[in-house]
Amino acid sequence: MLDIKFVRENPEIVKENIKKKFQDQKLPLVDEVIALDKKIRELSTEADNLRASRNSLSQEIGKLMKAKEIDKANEVKATVAKNNDRIAEIDTEVAPLKDELLKKMMVIPNIIDKSVPVGEDDTHNVENEKFGEPVVPAYEIPHHADIIAGLNGLDKDAAGRTSGNGFYYLMGDVARLHSAMLSYARDFMINKGFTYCIPPFMIRSDVVNGVMSFAEMENMMYKIEGEDLYLIGTSEHSMIGRFKDQIVKEQELPITLTSYSPCFRKEVGSHGIEERGVYRVHQFEKQEMIVLCKPEESMDWYNKMWQFTVEFFRSLDVPVRTLECCSGDLADLKVKSCDVEAWSPRQKKYFEVGSCSTLGDAQARRLKIRTKGENGTYLVHTLNNTVLASPRGLIAVLENNYNEDGSVSVPKALQPYMGGVTKLIKKTK
């Protein structure tokens, strides 16, 4: 969410930013919030003047009563009562105006970074850099569901009976590999100096509204019936929510955290749920990284964070690339974002395995996360990035380490987490 003062002083910048995000239907909001803000400030000024007058008149009443000028004191009391009535009227009038202002401000998109390419949708995202040589072996790479089935590692039929479409059982060596990757991701980030956390897996609506837009919430999150609780779609939600209404000590910045959680998503929209494999599912597990920092440090942290994900996947023998998200593909709270995509030798193309974003002070403003330094109190900047989301990351490792005989080589980095196992052997029926 933007600062209303910024909108008031820079309406054309805000409108141009809306155009860059191809959300022209939101252009009228800029003038509407400016008008609302003006009305609120006028009423608030009137109320402040009345309160100041009331204080002055109250002192005058005391003097008049002391001088036994009762009639004059009663006249002043009547004026005070009239002022109090008007203050109450203003308070009643201002409350819904503030609610309307906040509602409109919540849907005006954040100002994107100047480096973000302008484009209407993800087809206009721009490749930044490739890391590792994308290899297509001479032999065929099966669909990941077939690779896992060959290792007796997947049961979607049973999951369909217990939970429905979009769920799965991982079993045996594949389940162990999946857990090994998450454990390695945890230790990888701890070794980068991040503090490991396991957060709540449910959050209240005020936290949801603080970390994401309403449209995202409706399409992503499962609500617990009868309670003000939502299942998290990523641990970023509860990790940022941890600092709600807090003033963080400036000397503690940057705060660098890495968190594990299961994640739950409706996956409503054009993509839908994958029928066969485990690429797009309702439930997965994730290792995330979160940073709270000073505004002037946020872009440096943004570049460090996506590089950590690249390093992580290269250590698992997976070629990756980074893809700069264009303006129309950015969620409204984001300033800048890039995807890390893994190479698929089966599809001969890259697919998303992680996303890194800086949100400026948008989340901090909504959740009132501040810090206090020598120059006063100000909002922190928040960033988040995927270390590993699995089973999607699992697919990348399986495909890129698949052997012609149906076995899968275990990357060296994962072998200590697999009890020294170096290869997953295809099962014979």
DSSP structure class, residue 296: G
* DSSP output for 205-267: HHHHHHHS-HHHHHHHPPBPTTSS-EE-SSHHHHHHHTTTT-EEEGGGPSEEEEEEEEEE---
Q: Which token pair is 377? A: 């109190």
Cα 366 to Cα 8, 146, 267, 423, distances in angstroms: 18, 45, 25, 48
Query: Over 80: is that where the pLDDT of 26 sits?
Result: yes
CB 410 within 8 A of CB 424: yes
Provide the token pair at 194.
Answer: 């991040």
Tell me the fold of 4-105.
Helix Hairpins (1.10.287)
How many CB atoms are closer than 10 A to CB 253?
Answer: 17
| Mean pLDDT on 204-231 | 87
- Residue pair 235/196 in contact (Cβ under 8 Å)? The answer is no
- CA angle 36-42-46, nearest 5°? 145
Q: To the nearest whole number, what is the mean pLDDT of the chain? A: 93
Nearest to 9 by CA among 93, 104, 111, 96: 111
Number of CB atoms found within 10 A of residue 285's CB: 20
Q: Residue for token digits 């066969």? A: 276
Residues 199 and 15: their CA atoms lie apart, in Å, by: 38
At residue 268, the pLDDT reads: 61
Intra-chain end-to-end CA distance of the chain, in Å: 57
Which residue shows structure tokens 């995000």? 21
State the DSSP string of 389-406: EETHHHHHHHHHTB-TTS
Averaged pLDDT for residues 30-42: 96
From the options 3.40.367.20, 3.40.50.620, 3.30.930.10, 3.40.50.2300, give the CATH code of 122-424: 3.30.930.10
Average pLDDT rounded to a whole number, residues 401-406: 96
CB contact set of 404 (below 8 Å; sequence gap of 6+): 137, 139
HSE-up of residue 204 (Cα within 13 Å, Cβ side): 5
Per-residue pLDDT at 218 exceeds 90: no
Burial label, 348 (beta-carbon count in 10 A; 0-12, 13-18, 19+):
exposed
Tokens read off for 40: 């609120």
How confident is residue 237, by pLDDT bands cut at 50, 70 and 90?
very high
Is the separation of the CB atoms in 213 and 106 below 8 Å? yes
Q: What is the spatial distance between Cα 395 and Cα 279, in angstroms, rounded to a whole number? A: 8
| Inter-residue contact 320 to 314 (CB < 8 Å) | yes
Distances (CA, A) of 175 to 89, 310, 317, 412: 64, 23, 19, 18
Cis peptide before 199 (omega within 30 of 0): no
pLDDT value of residue 66? 73
Q: Phi and psi dihedrals of 395, rounded to 5?
A: -60, -45
Domain ranges across the chain: 4-105, 122-424
CA 45 to chain centre: 37
Q: What per-residue confidence (pLDDT) applies to 272? A: 57
pLDDT at 274 (0 to 100): 62
* pLDDT (average), residues 126-144: 96
Q: Which three-class secondary structure state does DSSP give residue 126?
A: strand
- Residue 43, pLDDT above cutoff 60: yes
Kindly tell me if the per-residue pLDDT of 90 is higher than 70: yes
**Per-residue pLDDT, 159:** 93
Q: Where do we find the tokens 């309307």? A: 100
Instruction: Summarize the confidence of residues 379-390 as an average pLDDT.
Output: 97
85 confidence band (pLDDT: 50, 70, 90): confident
pLDDT value for 292: 98
Q: What is the mean pLDDT of residues 149-156?
A: 95
Averaged pLDDT, 277-289: 94
The pLDDT of residue 269 is above 80: no
Look at residue 270 and tell me whether its pLDDT is greater than 80.
no
Kindly state the average pLDDT of the residues 115-142.
96
Using CA atoms, how far residue 364 sits from 92, 230, 232, 261, 322, in Å, is: 28, 20, 19, 22, 27
- SS3 call for 321: strand
pLDDT band at 81 (very low <50, low <70, confident <90, very high): confident
Q: Mean pLDDT across the stretch 257-272?
A: 82
**Class of residue 154 by CB neighbours under 10 A (exposed 0-12, middle 13-18, buried 19+):** buried
Per-residue tokens: 251: 């000397």
Per-residue confidence at 61, pLDDT binned at 50, 70, 90? confident
Region 395-399: mean pLDDT is 97
Instruction: Specify the range with the lowest mean pLDDT, choosing from 42-51, 72-81, 294-303, 371-380.
Output: 72-81
Average pLDDT on 157-180 reads 95
